[in-house]
Structure 1
Amino acid sequence: MGAGFSALFISQEGLSSVSSSSPSLGDLPESCVASIIGYLDPPEICKVAKLNRAFRGASWADFVWESKLPPNYQILVDKILGVVPENLGKRDIYARLCGVNTLDGGAKKVWLDKSTGGVCMSISSKGLQITGIDDRRYWNHIPTLESRFCSIAYLQQIWWFEVEGEVEFPFPAGSYSVFFRLQLGRASKRFGRRICNSEHVHGWDIKPVRFQLWTSDGQYATSQCTLSDPGEWFHYHVGDFNVENSNSSTKIKLSMTQIDCTHTKGGLCLDSVVIYPSKFRERLKHEGFLKC
């Protein structure tokens, strides 16, 4: 953009001939600038706001940021932020929703993707129903910095593996994908280096794990996947669901099971369930974090 505007002020001799009376970016009407930057993504708007006073003022225009917010942002504000000042600008609302906001006593976290404004959600292992979680012979909650919840559920060994979850939330209209964030093996640090203990990893290569999801409006999805590659966190794709009505909450039930009792399985870290706009699947695939 800067190079394009500079080209307007090059003389025929190829030299810059900008005089004190020549027009500049600062002379553009703020309303005109706001109409232009409304076509940019939020990070780009924040960058061009540094150009001059006109761009800085335009970057705060409510109509610019209202176009970036989800259509049901007022419902999201009530659900996520609660009471907010009446005169809070749309840019500030966007910024607050982009922060990682906690729900249900810390069991869930919700935020807007800064670049797209898409709603994302993460449900901690403590917000899921896990068979045998209260018996320390099978499961333990382990503190870690590798989870946004600072804790994961670690399975040593079990015959009947079953994890279920449920969430009800006013997702904006669109398509969403559900994932379990899992890792085989228990990671730790030694002399500042990350290492993974795979001592208890077994049984996952015999039969695949089954993932399922149901929605309150009758949608259903299922997938199967063999857990593999110890030592790395992966997003295992459960399935997708669509939201058409942004003004009402969508209820989702989900599960992850491997209940073949002919063998035990263990050595699994369960961090969370995450719900992203479906177009994020390609991002996860490109980064190498996607399974199934």
Structure 2
Amino acid sequence: MGAIFSSCSPAPSSVPRPAGLGDLPESCVASILTHLEPKDICGLARLNRAFRGASWADFVWESKLPENYAALFQQMFDRPVDGLGKRQLYTRLCQACTFDGGTKKVWLDKETSRVCLNICAKGLAITGIDDRRYWNHVPTDESRFQTVAYLQQTWWFEVEGEIEFPFPPGTYSVFFRLQLGQTSRRFGRRVCNTEHVHGWDKKPVRFQLWASEGQSSASQCFLRAPGKWVHYHVGDFNVLGHDSPPTRVKFSMTQIDCTHTKVSSSKCLDPFVNEADEVMLEGSVALFLHLYTRLELDCAASGYGGQHKVLHSNLDGPLICLFVHAGG
């Protein structure tokens, strides 16, 4: 009887199982991942074992690292890269690292793999910064360093910065990110008092840049849009080879007029660098220094050859920012 029932049971299917993504050779998957952005690689690593294993391949992450990643790592962590896989190395470089006495922070942007450098106000030379009649350092959540330089009033406005850093090859733009007006919180909302802002429409601010290999530029413009952070272009510089010595960059912003006091209910300064650099003014005047990566898009932008996108624009108020062309 059992034999009868056994003969009636269906025979096992001889049709082969359709091939899926999990059947792809790990080396093939790794080759595909080299063409994706870091965040997409990490997302696909959760699909299956093949993608997870391929996502750890050194050659996948080496293509995402800057050419001079070894020099960057040494600068940031004061140790060689020995013993670290390329994915581990990339992860470490994406973590903001403070150096130079706590006045600078540097990291790789997770989305673009571009170097970001942030310089605080205390890392800049500001005329009169030690005179509390003119300047103060005030706490704020609009800065990565939790403090900005606050300008109350001055006739002689002069800010200078200098940095020597192993920037990867590329074209960089320096920006000051400035805000006129004093920022505060009211019922949990950000408000900016511009009632006492005056004197900035009498004479333009002059921006200057000097970099290695004799590069320099100068420009001037009036500060505008009280109550908003604005990026002011200082100039561009180029970094050629990854084996070049660290690039030295100096930049300044001045507005000297002994007939009119520059006031904006507050002025703060806090620098930031990210393969791009920027500064900003607030209140009487608030200054911050930021460095951001500049991405070249297909649409034209007067004077730049392409529209730029500011990364992390919600992070640090006034700062100096360096922007690098995506095409490098």
Alpha-carbon distance between aligned partners in 1 of 2:95 and 2:179, rounded to the nearest angstrom: 26
Taking a change above 3 Å as real, the CA distance of residues 255 and 27 of structure 1, as seen in their structure-2 partners, is: same
Residue equivalent to 1:15: none
Residue equivalent to 1:11: none
Residue equivalent to 2:262: 265
**Maintained 8 Å contact 1:210/1:225:** yes
Which residue, 310, 313, 316 being the options, matches 1:284?
310
- 1:230 corresponds to 2:223: no
- 1:18-64 C-alpha deviation (Å, 9 max, x unpaired): x7622111111111100111111111111111111100110111110
Alpha-carbon distance between aligned partners in 2 of 1:97 and 1:200, rounded to the nearest angstrom: 43
1:177 Cα deviation after fit: 1.2
Residue equivalent to 1:139: 135
Q: Secondary structure of 2:101's partner? A: helix
Which residue, 183, 188, 204 being the options, matches 2:200?
204
Query: Can you give the 5+ residue segments of structure 2 that lack an aligned partner in the other structure?
Result: 1-14, 272-288, 297-306, 318-328
Q: Name the TM-score, length of structure 2 as normaliser.
A: 0.78
Q: Secondary structure of 1:284's partner? A: coil
Report the number of matched residues: 271
**Maintained 8 Å contact 1:143/1:151:** yes
Q: How does 1:176-195 map to 2 (within 5 A)?
A: 176-195=172-191
Alpha-carbon distance between aligned partners in 2 of 1:92 and 1:20, rounded to the nearest angstrom: 39
1:84 Cα deviation after fit: 5.9
1:274 Cα deviation after fit: 2.6
Alpha-carbon distance between aligned partners in 2 of 1:278 and 1:146, rounded to the nearest angstrom: 21
Alpha-carbon distance between aligned partners in 1 of 2:269 and 2:199, rounded to the nearest angstrom: 16
1:193 Cα deviation after fit: 1.4
Residue equivalent to 1:254: 251
Alpha-carbon distance between aligned partners in 1 of 2:111 and 2:202, rounded to the nearest angstrom: 41
Taking a change above 3 Å as real, the CA distance of residues 236 and 114 of structure 1, as seen in their structure-2 partners, is: same
Residue equivalent to 2:46: 50
Alpha-carbon distance between aligned partners in 2 of 1:226 and 1:147, rounded to the nearest angstrom: 24
Structure 1 segments of 4+ aligned residues over 6 angstroms from their partners: none
Residue equivalent to 1:175: 171
**Maintained 8 Å contact 2:137/2:149:** yes
Which residue, 25, 29, 42 being the options, matches 2:25?
29
Taking a change above 3 Å as real, the CA distance of residues 20 and 189 of structure 1, as seen in their structure-2 partners, is: farther
Alpha-carbon distance between aligned partners in 2 of 1:36 and 1:263, rounded to the nearest angstrom: 62
**Maintained 8 Å contact 2:293/2:310:** no
**Maintained 8 Å contact 1:174/1:277:** no
Larger Rg: 2
- 1:167-212 C-alpha deviation (Å, 9 max, x unpaired): 0001011011111122111111111111112243111111111111
Query: Can you give the 5+ residue segments of structure 1 that lack an aligned partner in the other structure?
Result: 1-18
**Maintained 8 Å contact 1:183/1:233:** yes
Q: Secondary structure of 1:106's partner? A: coil
Please report the RMSD computed on the Cα atoms of aligned residues, expressed in angstroms: 2.1
Alpha-carbon distance between aligned partners in 2 of 1:244 and 1:84, rounded to the nearest angstrom: 23
Q: Name the TM-score, length of structure 1 as normaliser.
A: 0.87
Name the amino acid aligned to 1:37: L
Alpha-carbon distance between aligned partners in 1 of 2:48 and 2:131, rounded to the nearest angstrom: 61
| Structure with the largest fraction of helix | 1
Identity of aligned residues (%): 64
Alpha-carbon distance between aligned partners in 2 of 1:132 and 1:199, rounded to the nearest angstrom: 24
- 1:150 corresponds to 2:166: no
Alpha-carbon distance between aligned partners in 1 of 2:292 and 2:209, rounded to the nearest angstrom: 14
Residue equivalent to 1:274: 290
Q: How does 1:113-124 map to 2 (within 5 A)?
A: 113-124=109-120
Deviates more, 1:77-86 or 1:108-117: 77-86
- 1:122-145 C-alpha deviation (Å, 9 max, x unpaired): 211110000000001000100000
1:85 Cα deviation after fit: 6.7
Alpha-carbon distance between aligned partners in 1 of 2:36 and 2:179, rounded to the nearest angstrom: 37
Residue equivalent to 2:101: 105
Q: Secondary structure of 2:131's partner? A: coil
Residue equivalent to 1:12: none
- 1:72-105 C-alpha deviation (Å, 9 max, x unpaired): 1011111112226732211111111111111111
